[in-house]
Amino acid sequence: MGRKYFGTDGVRGRVGETPITPDFVMRLGHAAGRVLLGEYCLPAGERPQVLIGKDTRLSGYMLESALEAGFSAAGVDVCLVGPLPTPAVAYLTRALRLQAGIVISASHNPYYDNGIKFFSGEGSKLPDVVEQAIEAGIDQPLVCVPAAELGRVRRIEDARGRYIEFCKSAFPNALDLRGLKIVVDCAHGAAYHTAPSVFHELGAEVITIGVQPNGLNINDGVGATAPKALAAAVVAHQADLGVALDGDADRLQMIDAAGNLYDGDQLLYAIVKSRLRSGPVKGVAGTLMSNLALEHALGKLGIPFGRAAVGDRYVVEMLGDKGWLYGGENSGHILTLDRHTTGDGTIAALQVLAALREEGGDLQSLLGDLTLYPQKLINVPISKDFAWKTDAQISAGLSAVEQRMNGRGRVLLRASGTEPLLRVMVEGEDAEEVTASAEQLAGVVRAAVGGSGQPRPAGQ
């Protein structure tokens, strides 16, 4: 069964356009509340409870109120925590024994986008079947429960402190960060008042950027999707390291003292390689976008590697199916299930820092012989209903590029789960060939969609 509203990371879109409108989000909250009422058989007089957090977008206030109204109308109690990282909501939902957690965020997107994503009571993304059940109720009439059964709303005042202590608990008790100067870039997002405190309380000298959110500047030239600002700050302050988070703080990129960038594949490898000091690693899960060099390097360590569909929810599903603990995406979602149930940029950074403390050296020495293959990613705008998989022109272009690569790399086409884009990715050992092949295929896709992001008329 296909999903009408949910993408790979919840419901997302431009604010003011369906589905990110107050009326739709209220119906979404009501539908989710009705599903929760059916899922949980609570003692008489008790109602399901959900926790709602958000990032720093101005539209979060509007959507928070709409969600709150929808859940209350369904007879579900609501706990509000205000701006907090996505993984903080996952943690608090589990720690407080609530039935679900909801995050209002569009992650790495600009401020004019927003979204709604759900966590189960166990702190993991909702299974597809539950999201489908919620979707089925969105278009049904909104029927309010009797006045005496309406959900109540309360605010959790110590949520920030609880999450900071949880993050610190993920760092070995025998270690600290004294003597390290770290620049922390919070992307003017949800971690602006949590991540700096975590590193500071563990002993580091912390310099911050991206910690002055105004509702409109989230991810704007800072954060994990714009790491040049962090690299410049690390070099300017002569810092040891830089930590870059995205708007909802579930992604991580890091910078070394020389200003070099390390992505999710490299950081995941550093963590996994360090974990071998305490015992065998059963396997690692990546995605279709994970660099081929990561797979090869893990193979040399005798560690199996699996590729899930793009999206951290699918990495988590593969880890669960195989009984593995570590996985991630090159974009910076890193899963360490021995520390948290979901991707957490702050906790992932702490795992890298722990490895540095235990093994000495710098980030480059942690990676050993891992050298990523050149990879070129080009995003081509398309309309949501463009049938690119069956387009003859695109199929022919894909075959031509695969023949050109002749087994010396990988070629991948995939639609974004959060934006109307077709992602064209080529990787291989030769950088010039990779770039030329990616541009060739992207040109074919642009021609197929008419050069303007719109599908060609049928039959043309």
Tell me which residues are annotated as active site. Answer: 107
374 DSSP assignment: P
Question: Would you say the C-alpha torsion 100, 104, 109, 113 has a positive or negative sign?
Answer: positive
C-alpha separations of 121 from 34, 36, 91, 290 in Å? 16, 11, 9, 29
Residue whose C-alpha is closest to residue 420's, from 457, 386, 458, 460:
386
CA distance 183 to 203: 13
C-alpha separations of 122 from 216, 235, 350 in Å? 32, 41, 23
User: Which DSSP string corresponds to 180-230?
Assistant: -EEEEE-TTSTTTTTHHHHHHHTT-EEEEES----SS-TTSS-STTSTHHH
* Strands laid side by side in the 375-381 sheet: 375-381, 421-428, 409-415
C-alpha separations of 460 from 391, 444, 447, 451, 454 in Å? 10, 14, 11, 14, 13
Peptide bond into 304 cis (omega under 30): no
C-alpha separations of 224 from 144, 208, 218, 399 in Å? 42, 14, 11, 34
CA distance 153 to 449: 48
> In b/e form, how buried is each residue of 317-349, taking b as 16+ CB within 10 angstroms?
bbbeeeebbbbbbbbbbbbbeebbbbbbbbbbb
Which residue has 């272009």 as its token pair? 397
Tokens representing 246? Answer: 């995205």
CA distance 83 to 257: 31
